[in-house]
Amino acid sequence: MDAVELTQKLVRIPGVSGQEGAVADAVEQTMRDLGYREVTRDSFGTVLGQVGPEDASTHLLFDGHMDVVPVVGEWSVDPFGGEIRDGRLWGRGSTDMKGGLAAAICGVAAAAREGTLKHQVAVSATVLEETIEGVALGSVMDRIDPQAVVICEPTSLELKTAQKGRLEMLLTIHGKPSHAAYPERGVNAIDFAARALRALDAMKPVTSEELGKGILVATDIISDPHPSISMLPNSVTIRFDRRTLVGETQEDILSAMRDALTADNISNYDLKVTDSEVSAYTEKAFEPIRWMPAWSLDRDHALVAKAIDAIREMGDEPRLGVFGFCTNGSESAGVRKVPTIGFGPGAESDAHIIDESVDIGEVAKAAEFYRNLVTGMAGA
Ligand SMILES: [Zn+2]
């Protein structure tokens, strides 16, 4: 089975975050069929395939998540059809990121078949990345301690050496309920929420030359009670997503936001990092803190040099860049400081859209790159 065929097979199996079980079954069977030495699953339901000598250290871990975002809107193709047309494979998860996952599974198997591996190489098919980046990969890294990690998310075959992080927060503004006919008797939390949004929007964003702006955006707003009819609500909660830069801490971000609110005389609030419960398809439940740090790998690092060699081996000129979105690399590089790069088929702009698709030529190329990288870093 080649990487395009495997992408098609995986796209045809739905599996939003927390419901990846059937995808995991297919991944596990495929890894066994392709000759992986060991294939296991952890408590989160992540599938880990390993090749190379059992007693050797693990030089490389390729990571791809199995979960996809929900199908929404009007599609012109069957989102789980995996149709191949005009050089592209169509369906939910084709770009994000069953193409990259399939390419890693096939590319690593191809390198192992050459029979020259001196070190172990692993592929993790992780869960829940779309809900909480990094947690599932952390569980894998607790077990195998790789020397380097490749995030196989869509990069249009560009080599990514850095990534913004992400902090998710809830701002709850407390009001004083009253009858809507007598609003002067209460305190309207909605008015304060509007002021808070303006104050936070006016903050000067932190910036870095490499990663750009630390973006703060509101993604959700709800009153308590909801609906609040004919009365001022007790409180309003706004969810914020902050894209973070290298070196920023949770406390840096929270205190800057508190300062902006204080400067606008807003004090009737709580601001905290979210830690709501997440459940895996294995029924394991946990409450992760939504803090995924940014990271950057020095472009002089040996891993970057090896990746450039692997790209040139395919006859291509390397293109270097940084991720615009957050990935499991926040765990490997941001938290654990393990050298990490990103490289995968498909464009970031094709992720999470109606009529998602991936260039099948890029899927095949990515598999070739992964094979070359394995041979170059773990081969004889
Ligand atoms: Zn993804």
CA of 330 to the centre of ligand 1 (A): 13
Contact status, residue 292 vs residue 196, Cβ threshold 8 Å: no
Q: Quick one: which of 181, 275, 288, 166 has its CA closest to 231?
A: 181
In tens, the pLDDT along 162-218 reads: 999 999 999 999 999 999 999 999 999 999 999 999 999 999 999 999 999 999 999
Task: Assess whether 65 and 142 both reside in one domain.
Answer: yes
Task: Assess whether 313 and 327 both reside in one domain.
Answer: yes
CA of 216 to the centre of ligand 1 (A): 21
CA of 350 to the centre of ligand 1 (A): 11
| Residue 159 C-alpha from the chain's centroid | 16
Q: Which amino acid is located at 293 in the chain? A: P
CA of 34 to the centre of ligand 1 (A): 24
Handedness of CA 215, 219, 225, 229 (dihedral sign): positive
CA of 261 to the centre of ligand 1 (A): 34
CA of 180 to the centre of ligand 1 (A): 45
Task: Assess whether 239 and 260 both reside in one domain.
Answer: yes
* Band of pLDDT at residue 257, cut at 50, 70 and 90: very high
Q: What percent of the chain has pLDDT over 90?
A: 98
Task: Assess whether 25 and 127 both reside in one domain.
Answer: yes
In a domain, 286, yes or no: no
CA of 78 to the centre of ligand 1 (A): 20
Compute φ and ψ for 243, nearest 5 degrees.
Answer: -90, 125
CA of 367 to the centre of ligand 1 (A): 17
Residue 236 pLDDT > 80: yes
Task: Assess whether 29 and 149 both reside in one domain.
Answer: yes
In tens, the pLDDT along 129-159 reads: 999 999 999 999 999 999 999 999 999 999 9
CA distance 109 to 34: 6
Task: Assess whether 230 and 334 both reside in one domain.
Answer: no
In a domain, 285, yes or no: no
CA of 129 to the centre of ligand 1 (A): 7
CA of 175 to the centre of ligand 1 (A): 39
Q: Which among 220, 253, 279 is the end of a domain? A: 279
Residue 380 pLDDT > 90: no
User: Which tokens belong to 258?
Assistant: 């508190």
CA of 154 to the centre of ligand 1 (A): 7
| Residue 217 C-alpha from the chain's centroid | 18
Contact status, residue 220 vs residue 239, Cβ threshold 8 Å: yes
CA of 11 to the centre of ligand 1 (A): 14
CA of 81 to the centre of ligand 1 (A): 20
User: Which pTM does this prediction carry?
Assistant: 0.94
CATH number of domain containing 147: 3.40.630.10
Task: Assess whether 97 and 174 both reside in one domain.
Answer: no
In tens, the pLDDT along 205-233 reads: 999 999 999 999 999 999 999 999 999 99
Task: Assess whether 48 and 177 both reside in one domain.
Answer: no
Task: Assess whether 198 and 301 both reside in one domain.
Answer: no
CA of 262 to the centre of ligand 1 (A): 37
CA of 182 to the centre of ligand 1 (A): 49
CA of 71 to the centre of ligand 1 (A): 15
In a domain, 159, yes or no: yes
Q: Which among 279, 309, 343 is the end of a domain? A: 279
CA of 348 to the centre of ligand 1 (A): 9
* Band of pLDDT at residue 252, cut at 50, 70 and 90: very high
CA distance 201 to 88: 40
CATH number of domain containing 193: 3.30.70.360
CA distance 155 to 145: 25
Q: What is the mean pLDDT of the chain?
A: 97
User: Which tokens belong to 274?
Assistant: 């979210």
* DSSP strand pairing (159-163 vs 320-323): parallel
CA of 259 to the centre of ligand 1 (A): 34
CA of 184 to the centre of ligand 1 (A): 48
CA of 97 to the centre of ligand 1 (A): 5
In a domain, 284, yes or no: no
The pLDDT score that the predictor gives to residue 126 is 98
CA of 173 to the centre of ligand 1 (A): 33
Long-range CB contacts (within 8 A, 24+) of 248-257: 248/165, 248/206, 248/214, 248/293, 248/294, 250/167, 250/291, 253/167, 253/169, 253/214, 254/169, 256/203, 257/169, 257/171, 257/200, 257/203, 257/216
Task: Assess whether 142 and 181 both reside in one domain.
Answer: no
Task: Assess whether 252 and 111 both reside in one domain.
Answer: no
- In sequence order, the 6+-apart residues with CB closer than 8 A to the CB of 11 are 80, 81, 82, 89, 91, 92, 93, 94, 98
| Residue 307 C-alpha from the chain's centroid | 21
CA of 125 to the centre of ligand 1 (A): 12
Residue 379 pLDDT > 90: no
CA of 67 to the centre of ligand 1 (A): 8
CA of 153 to the centre of ligand 1 (A): 5
Question: Domain of 189?
Answer: 165-279
Domains contained in the chain, number: 2
The pLDDT score that the predictor gives to residue 129 is 95
